């Protein structure tokens, strides 16, 4: 399953191949209750057709109107909306919110081809555009932050900034792997049982060979990684949790009812885990929404992942700021 960014950029490339001009908009920064996150993208065609979203309100309508009247910038630029209360109300930005948007003209589908290819390969790509000259550079990177301005350069990112390791290739693991990719998680799956591996057919998820504890160590679980154990086999789930709870993963969860989780925590105390590490365990995994089916449970799990990540960011703890140097930060092409 392709991400929302891929859908937007793929459609934009089709428009450009058909001879249209277009503009790409990316949210740089928001203040107040702006409804879209940093990095949200929108493409507006020269005749006002659009795909994607930067506000969920009338800003899209205003940009479409500007496109039809050829009033959008001919060079890369920064636009702001909601600077005044009157403008916030005019463009229906909730609670007086503001947002800053980077805009750049698109004239050729080749501008988007490397980004689409990188997203399809589930690689994170950093795209940098110079506002003064229009120069563009591309590089494959490890997660390193949110879209931002740096002098004359605007840096944006496409592809998975977050990883999800699923322990268990059962039906729930399959549904969870599908849904997580829609949310642009880089999905890894581990299950040492041969019969489970033989029946695994989720496109885009990376199969990790090895025992769960070894795999957790091998991927070097960091602050942009979530780990969820769903095998229903305590031996396999606990193996992963023993290492996951000692890691920097921003979320660690395990499937199982409340009583089973109490027994699990008692087992974990017999190993070299501290009470603080054991307290990191989210179990029963997922938000309590009365979920029963695999799809409902997967939604509950992903909802809790998003909730925990959002809470950390509101507290000023941005997992993406826990970056590492990488020899993958190399130009493409």
Angle between helices 234-244 and 258-268 (to 10 degrees): 60
Task: Say if residue 169 is in the same domain as residue 133.
Answer: no
Residue 226 lies in a domain: yes
CA–CA separation, 142 and 120 (whole Å): 16
Residue 313: predicted pLDDT:
63
Task: Say if residue 51 is in the same domain as residue 130.
Answer: yes
Sheet holding 77-81, edge to edge: 50-52, 41-45, 22-31, 98-106, 77-81
Residue 205 lies in a domain: yes
Own/partner contacts of 199-207, CB < 8 Å, gap of 24 or more, are: 199/169, 200/169, 200/174, 201/174, 202/174, 202/177, 202/178, 203/1, 204/1, 204/122, 204/177, 205/166, 205/177, 205/181, 206/122
The residue length of the chain stands at 333
| Range in 75-84, 162-171, 246-255 with the lowest mean pLDDT | 75-84
Closest CA to 62 of 102, 100, 90: 90
CATH number at residue 234: 3.40.50.720
| Mean pLDDT across 20-45 | 86
Residue 327 lies in a domain: no
Domain that holds residue 100: 4-158
Beta strands 41-45; 50-52: pairing state: antiparallel
Residue 323: predicted pLDDT:
40
**Of 135, 158, 181, which residue sits at a domain end?**
158
Task: Say if residue 253 is in the same domain as residue 107.
Answer: no
Task: Say if residue 195 is in the same domain as residue 292.
Answer: yes
Residue 202 lies in a domain: yes
Local confidence band at 163 (pLDDT 50, 70, 90 cut-offs): very high
Residue 177: predicted pLDDT:
97
| Mean pLDDT across 91-117 | 83
Q: Which residue has the tokens 């009812």?
A: 257
Task: Say if residue 250 is in the same domain as residue 122.
Answer: no
Q: Counting beta carbons within 10 angstroms of the beta carbon of residue 75, is it exposed (0 to 12), middle (13 to 18) or buried (19 or more)? A: exposed
Task: Say if residue 104 is in the same domain as residue 195.
Answer: no
Residue 160: predicted pLDDT:
83
Task: Say if residue 166 is in the same domain as residue 309.
Answer: yes
| Mean pLDDT across 39-51 | 95
Give the model confidence (pLDDT) of 250-293 as tens digits: 999 999 999 999 999 999 999 989 999 999 999 999 999 999 99
**Of 158, 178, 198, which residue sits at a domain end?**
158
Residue 327: predicted pLDDT:
36
Residue 35: predicted pLDDT:
64
| Range in 73-77, 94-98, 152-156, 270-274 with the lowest mean pLDDT | 94-98
CA–CA separation, 142 and 144 (whole Å): 6
pLDDT at 329 over 50: no
Give the DSSP H/E element, type plus range, for residue 127. strand 125-130
CA–CA separation, 262 and 242 (whole Å): 15
Residue 37 lies in a domain: yes
**Of 128, 158, 188, which residue sits at a domain end?**
158
Residue 41 lies in a domain: yes
Task: Say if residue 221 is in the same domain as residue 281.
Answer: yes
List phi, psi (to 5°) of 271.
-110, -175
pLDDT at 70 over 90: yes
Residue 89: predicted pLDDT:
52
pLDDT at 325 over 70: no
Residues 6+ apart with CB under 8 A from 159: 3, 118, 119, 122, 123, 124, 125, 184, 186
For the chain, give the mean pLDDT: 88
pLDDT at 1 over 60: no
Give the model confidence (pLDDT) of 186-245 as tens digits: 899 999 999 999 999 999 899 999 999 999 999 999 888 999 999 989 999 999 999 999
Local confidence band at 330 (pLDDT 50, 70, 90 cut-offs): very low
Task: Say if residue 117 is in the same domain as residue 147.
Answer: yes
Residue 197 lies in a domain: yes
Peptide bond just before 284 cis, omega within 30 deg: yes
Tell if the pTM clears 0.75, that is, is over it.
Answer: no
Could you tell me the two tokens for 180? Answer: 């997580």
pLDDT at 32 over 80: no
Domain count, the chain: 2
CA–CA separation, 135 and 129 (whole Å): 6
Residue 80 lies in a domain: yes
**Greater model confidence, 214 or 89:** 214
Q: Which residue has the tokens 């977050």?
A: 162
Task: Say if residue 131 is in the same domain as residue 180.
Answer: no
Give the model confidence (pLDDT) of 116-147 as tens digits: 999 888 789 999 999 999 999 999 998 887 89
Using the Cα atoms of residue 68, residue 74, residue 78 and residue 80 in order, give the sign of their dihedral.
Answer: negative
How many other C-beta atoms lie within 10 A of the C-beta of residue 171? 15
**In a 3-state reduction of DSSP, which class is residue 197?**
helix
Task: Say if residue 139 is in the same domain as residue 213.
Answer: no
CA–CA separation, 35 and 161 (whole Å): 20
pLDDT at 52 over 60: yes
Residue 170: predicted pLDDT:
96
Residue 86: predicted pLDDT:
56
Task: Say if residue 130 is in the same domain as residue 201.
Answer: no
């Amino acid at each position: 399953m392709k991400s929302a960014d891929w859908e937007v950029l793929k459609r934009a490339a089709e428009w450009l191949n058909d001879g249209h001009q277009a503009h790409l908009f990316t949210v740089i920064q928001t203040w107040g209750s702006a409804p879209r996150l940093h990095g949200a993208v929108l493409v507006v065609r020269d005749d006002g057709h659009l795909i994607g979203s930067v506000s969920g309100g009338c800003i899209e309508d205003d940009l479409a109107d500007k496109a039809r009247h050829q009033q959008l910038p001919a060079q890369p630029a920064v636009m702001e909306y909601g600077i005044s209360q009157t403008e916030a109300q005019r463009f229906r930005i909730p609670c007086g919110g503001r947002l800053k948007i980077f805009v750049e003209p698109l004239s050729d589908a080749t501008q988007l081809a490397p980004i689409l290819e990188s997203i399809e390969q589930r690689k994170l790509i950093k795209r940098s555009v110079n506002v003064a000259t229009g120069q563009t550079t591309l590089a494959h990177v490890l997660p390193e932050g949110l879209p931002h301005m740096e002098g004359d350069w605007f840096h944006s990112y496409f592809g998975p900034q977050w990883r999800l390791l699923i322990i268990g290739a059962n039906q729930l693991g399959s549904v969870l792997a599908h849904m997580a990719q829609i949310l642009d998680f880089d999905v890894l799956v581990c299950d040492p049982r041969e019969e489970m591996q033989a029946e695994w057919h989720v496109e885009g998820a990376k199969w990790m060979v090895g025992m769960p504890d070894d795999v957790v160590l091998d991927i070097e679980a960091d602050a942009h990684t979530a780990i969820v154990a769903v095998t229903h086999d305590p031996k396999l789930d606990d193996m992963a949790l023993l290492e996951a709870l000692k890691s920097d993963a921003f979320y660690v969860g395990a499937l199982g009812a409340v009583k089973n989780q109490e027994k699990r925590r008692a087992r974990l105390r017999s190993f070299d885990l501290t009470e603080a590490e054991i307290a990191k365990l989210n179990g029963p995994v997922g938000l309590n929404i009365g979920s029963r089916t695999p799809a409902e449970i997967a939604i509950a799990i992903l909802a809790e992942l998003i909730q925990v990540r959002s809470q950390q960011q509101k507290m000023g703890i941005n997992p993406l700021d826990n970056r590492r140097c990488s020899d993958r930060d190399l130009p493409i092409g």
